[in-house]
Amino acid sequence: MIRPDLKRIGEEALEDVVVAALADSSLYRTRAPHSFDPVLLLDVDQLADFVASTQPKEWTRISKQFPGTEREALASHVASLVQKRGTLEVLRNGASFNGINLQLAFFKPSAGGNPEHQIRYEGNLFSVLRQVHFSTKTPDESVDVVILLNGLPIICVELKNHFTGQNVQHAIAQYRRRDAKDPFWIRCLVHFAVDDDAVYMNTRLAGSETAFLPFNRDTQNPVIPDRFSSSYLWDDYTDEDGEPQTGILRADSLLLLIQNYLHYERDPKTGKEKFIFPRFHQFTVVRNLLAHASAQGSGHNYLIQHSAGSGKSNSIAWLAHQLANLCGEDRQPVFSSIVVITDRKILDRQL
């Protein structure tokens, strides 16, 4: 993607770049903002289209039980389940609707898996919407970009641009002014604040106390010829070793994150749960180690180096869990067992 003239580009044009890149990628499509129902907090038609195309027998049963209103009936039931159980739980474990078991997302099968599973995986429907009016309480408010998976909102993005006099900190301030109790923000798995140079993320809005963590490739994102420095979020990119990597908001990356990384973690001191979305360095190091082990097999040594407070324990836990199920290019398990030796007590809970 050619980088636009930065002296002329505004927030809307940056939005154009992000949306165009995602819409042109695998499993994505664009949808009109009004396709998102601010009452049910989902896209009724996209949800129905996903179920009908990937689970036709189940859809036929739903149609017989709710002739003429099957789309609305399914959407209402799923919206109720998400409100009770949360987006992550429903995407991972599906839903039971009048005795009909439904999957609301399909994850990538392991190497050598059933070809039918791969077909269903490719049936996932991602959509990218812009300027979405998300609330009936504040109907005039909108969010720059929303990403849906099979009709359910999973990502929201606020965009700013240095060349219009604003940056990522203005996006963060905008999130802090939002009503944190509005259900839309709770439904989204992660909120990104983005400008042309930097990316920050948050998993729970809390008004003026909302905390964002950096989601950058380094302390400062590297300059990328003909692209924005933050484009790794929506575009495929080349890493520091010259290896091609899938952009974070691409379908393959998001489904991998939902399947293997996102989780709730209880604070032992307060007893409160917090929702964990990996930071860029955590996701990258685990993904790269898994790829190397799959291609090269066992018997190699690796050093995972994070600075203090940067999530070493979670990186170890994510890696251990996925190594246990890792297959090589011969479709055979790479490891027969995984042993973690540590003096970090917190890992006992995380593993």
Q: Residue length, the chain? A: 351
Number of domains, the chain: 2
On whether both 135 and 215 belong to a single domain, the answer is yes
Decide if 258 is inside a domain: no
Predicted confidence band at 252 (pLDDT cuts at 50, 70, 90)?
very high
267 occurs within a structural domain: no
Q: Does residue 61 sit in the same domain as residue 177?
A: yes
Examine residue 163 and state whether it is found in any structural domain, yes or no.
yes
**DSSP class of residue 4?**
P
Q: Are residue 318 and residue 232 in the same domain, yes or no?
A: no
Could you tell me which residues are beta bridge partners of residue 29? 127
pLDDT tens-digit readout, 70-80: 999 999 999 99
| Tokens (6 digits) for 248 | 């974070």
Does one domain contain both 299 and 247?
no
232-258: average pLDDT: 96
Phi, psi of 117 (to 5 degrees): -65, -35
Residue 256, C-beta contacts closer than 8 angstroms, at least 6 positions apart: 107, 108, 287
Q: What is the pTM of this model?
A: 0.93
Reference 313, options 300, 304, 326, 322; nearest CA is 304
Please, which residues bridge with residue 194 across strands?
159, 199
Domain annotation covers residue 69: yes
Q: Same domain, yes or no, for 238 and 282?
A: no
Average pLDDT across the chain, whole number: 92
Least confident of 22-26, 53-57, 153-157, 333-337: 333-337
pLDDT given for residue 1 in this prediction: 41
The rounded distance, in Å, linking the Cα atoms of 348 and 100 is 37
Q: Could you tell me if residue 139 is inside a domain?
A: yes
Q: Is 42 within the bounds of a domain?
A: yes
What is residue 124's predicted lDDT score, i.e. its pLDDT? 99
Same domain, 141 and 244: yes
Residue 131 shares a structural domain with residue 247: yes
By CB atoms closer than 10 A (0-12, 13-18, 19+), residue 112 is exposed
Last residue of a domain, one of 235, 252, 269: 252
Best-predicted range by mean pLDDT (29-38, 111-120, 238-247) = 29-38
DSSP code at position 150: T
pLDDT in tens, 264-308: 988 777 888 899 999 999 999 999 999 888 888 888 888 887 776
CB 150 within 8 A of CB 50: yes
Residue 346 parent element (H or E): helix 346-350
Find out whether 201 and 277 touch, Cβ atoms under 8 Å: yes
Residue 140 backbone dihedrals phi, psi, to 5 degrees: -85, -15
In a domain, 23, yes or no: yes
Please give the residue range of the domain that contains residue 96: 11-252
